[in-house]
Every structure is written in C-alpha cells, then in structure tokens.
Amino acid sequence: MFKVIQWSAGSASLSLLSFKVYASHKKEKRDKCSVKVDELSLYSIPSFESKYVEEPRSPLEEGISQLRKYAVPYAYWFQVAYDKTKPTIDGAIQQGIASCEFFQNPPPGFLPRLGVIGFSGILGYFFAKGSKLKKLLYPVGFMSITASVYYPQEAFEFAQVNGEKLYDWGLRVFIILEDVWKTYFQTDANQKLICTVG
C-alpha cells in the first residue's frame, strides 16, 4: 500500500515540474529525419484502379420494383382524393364536435321540440302506405313542417337558399327532358308523317 501511495505521489509531483524545450536550428538533421506523408504506410494511396460493378437484382427486389411502378398512379390518385376530401372531413368532424357540445348543454325547451319533430317523422312514416317514395317523402315532409313551426326564421333561410338550388335543378331537368322529347318523339312523328305522305 505504501508503494502505491509513493508511486502516485511521485507521478503527481512530476506533473507539477516544468521543462524548457529549445528548438534546433540545424536544418541538416531535420532534412535527414523528415518523412513525407506519402511515405507513411497509413497514408499510402492504393495503386490499383477501382471500378464500380452493380450487383444483379434478386427476384424479390425485381418484384418490389414492379409493384412500386404499378402503385405510383394509385398513390397519386389517393393523394389527390385525400387532399380534396380532407377539408370536408375536417369540417364534418368540427360540426360533430360542435353538435356534441350543443347536445350536452342544450338551450331550454330544445329537447321537447326535438322530440315533437321526431314524433312527427314517425307519424309521417305510418301515414305513408304504398310506394317507397311515399315512405321517404312523408316523414321528411312532416318533420320539415313541424320544424318550420318551431323555428320559422331558420326555415325561411333554409327554404330561400335551397329553394334556389331546387329551382336550378328543376330547370336543368326540364331542359334535358325537352331535348329528349325533341330528339326521340318528334323525329318519330316526322318519319311517320313522311311515310304516310310518301
């Protein structure tokens, strides 16, 4: 133990000593001992010429490459569809969150009105006998009439905005039906008239 302490004390005391080092002015000795960087074995440049050779693809790599080529148009189509539908989906999510918050803290009298509107839809479904079109139109009609009684201002705004759209659609359908009528039915009548005259 004593030798260990003596050895550590000795090495510690040597680190505190300072030595003076003088530079040599003799160029002859330095030139004889100097070695160039290229002469060192660590920094030697290989003398052979290297050439890159690409390894042949394995069947698995070739299959993945073909799969990627086939998937590129579909990935592009999916990205375009995603970019188009993302705002709509985000809006629907925000609307759903707002609706949940609204139903958690409804205004006074809202839930009884909602119950009456829903009951009128069920009543419209029972009155609709016969075709499936009646079973679709009667409940919607009864519910819209009941909702317009409770919320007249909102019903007026809804009817004003959607009435214009409905009028535009009706006008388009009328124009299409008129073109079909002129194309198919009037040409048949003209051909029958020509056949009877001729």
The pLDDT confidence band at residue 162, using thresholds 50, 70 and 90, is confident
% of the chain surpassing 70 pLDDT: 69
Q: Are 134 and 128 in contact (CB under 8 A)?
A: yes
The pLDDT of 139-145, averaged and rounded, is 89
Q: Long-range contacts for 172-175 (Cβ within 8 Å, ≥24 apart)?
A: none
What is the predicted pLDDT for the residue at 91? 92
Q: Are 43 and 37 in contact (CB under 8 A)?
A: yes
Closest CA to 143 of 164, 128, 161, 163: 128
Q: Are 121 and 143 in contact (CB under 8 A)?
A: yes
